[in-house]
Amino acid sequence: MGEYPNLEDIGKAVSLNRRFGWEVIAKYYGCYQEFDNFEEAYNGVHESEEDFAYDLAHDIYSTEQLGQLELYIDWERFARDLFIGDYSSEEVEDGKIVVFRRL
What was the pLDDT predicted at 40?
A: 96
What is the rounded average pLDDT for all residues in the chain? 91
pLDDT band at 2 (very low <50, low <70, confident <90, very high): low
Tell me the sheet residues that pair with 100.
42, 88
Helix (H) or strand (E) holding 45: strand 42-46
3-class SS at 86? coil
Residues 6+ apart with CB under 8 A from 85: 102
More confident residue, 10 or 24: 24
- Residue % of the chain over a pLDDT of 90: 70
The residues spanned by each domain of the chain are: 7-101
Express each pLDDT in 24-42 by its tens digit. Answer: 999 999 999 889 999 999 9
What was the pLDDT predicted at 87?
A: 97
Provide the whole-model pTM: 0.85
Question: Alpha carbon of 84 to those of 18, 24, 40, 52: distances in Å?
Answer: 31, 21, 19, 14
